[in-house]
């Protein structure tokens, strides 16, 4: 089994910064794409950013220039540096990973989520 554990959420004032981390553990041979999503109250979960094993990234337009995704393959960890935070960034943030087992099977996993609250 594989677990994804997020950390780094919290309460911050508008204009501030937070850095989210998500560490994967368990039966992992390798990890392909890793990503971040968020879900605000009353809204659907939305894609924020993703990164391939080779470091190629995608960021949704609403966070470009403010958020940066990165990863440490040796630690099976993905990060989301969030700068210039806005109240509309308030949401539960989830990490996601495509984990490959030693048998070559790829399975998608989700973390439990971490709350980010931005006050105005």
Question: Average pLDDT for residues 47-75, to the nearest whole number?
Answer: 97
Question: Average pLDDT for residues 61-78, to the nearest whole number?
Answer: 97
pLDDT at 102: 87
By the 8 A CB rule, do 69 and 21 touch?
A: no
Q: Is the pLDDT of residue 96 over 90?
A: yes
Judge residue 91's burial from the number of C-beta atoms within 10 Å of its C-beta, 0-12 exposed, 13-18 middle, 19 or more buried.
buried
* DSSP state for residue 29 in the 8-state scheme: S
By the 8 A CB rule, do 5 and 26 touch?
A: no
Question: Average pLDDT for residues 11-28, to the nearest whole number?
Answer: 97
Q: Is the pLDDT of residue 88 over 90?
A: yes
pLDDT, the chain, mean: 97
């Amino acid at each position: 089994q594989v677990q994804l554990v997020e950390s780094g959420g919290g309460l911050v004032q508008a204009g501030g910064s937070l850095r989210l981390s998500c560490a994967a553990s368990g039966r992992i041979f390798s990890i392909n794409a890793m990503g971040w999503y968020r879900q605000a109250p009353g809204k659907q979960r939305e894609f924020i950013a993703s990164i391939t094993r080779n470091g190629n990234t995608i960021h949704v337009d609403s966070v470009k220039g403010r958020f940066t995704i990165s990863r440490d393959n040796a630690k099976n960890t993905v990060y989301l540096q969030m700068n210039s935070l806005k109240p509309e960034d308030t949401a539960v943030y989830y990490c996601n990973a495509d984990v490959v087992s030693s048998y070559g099977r790829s399975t998608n996993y989700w973390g439990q989520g971490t709350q980010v609250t931005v006050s105005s």
